[in-house]
Structure 1
Amino acid sequence: MRAAVDSAVALGPGFLRGEVDPDTMANAMVAAVRDYVERDKAAGGDGRPTDAQARHLYPALEELMTCGSGYLAGRCDADCVARTMTEMVHEFAAS
């Protein structure tokens, strides 16, 4: 689960500096969650958190999917993605 969050957060600083476009960022957010779900299912899981760290990270996965898919569906804008990624980078990039 942490790897999924990290893969999206890794693009965050570049996105926030304008080096990564919003479509690429949103697609990376959604792909990170989908990749996690596929790997978890392949390992016999159901995608739900099973320990304390996973329970901490699960809301971040939900936010990545909600924000990324919302942007791609035209329900929010690049500023919304930037707010989400600012929070994600702040919380996860240095930890």
Structure 2
Amino acid sequence: MELLRYLTADPDSFYKGVARNTLQANAKSSDIAINPDRLAIVTREMEHSVPAAFYLNLVTGNLTYTNLYSGVPALTAIRDGQPADAELKKYAMMLERQ
């Protein structure tokens, strides 16, 4: 419970800490300074991924991989040869309307 309180008390510092540690771990040398622009991008994308993960968990429940992704119309259309960018934009607009 203490861990949950700690993680939810200041989520911004949690995301920045994880991003900083990840970027540092992937660096060739520990002496290399982390680019602040890269840190900001990685942090922002981490924050976006959490709502997406919760959404997918709520929508899918305990489905198998095949059933999970066959229910996403954009993925089905992309697999059928439609342009990915157009299908993803349509899917994003559909989700925003819900």
- TM (normalized to structure 2)? 0.31
Name the larger-Rg structure: 2
- TM (normalized to structure 1)? 0.32
Higher relative contact order (CA 8 A, sep 6+): 1
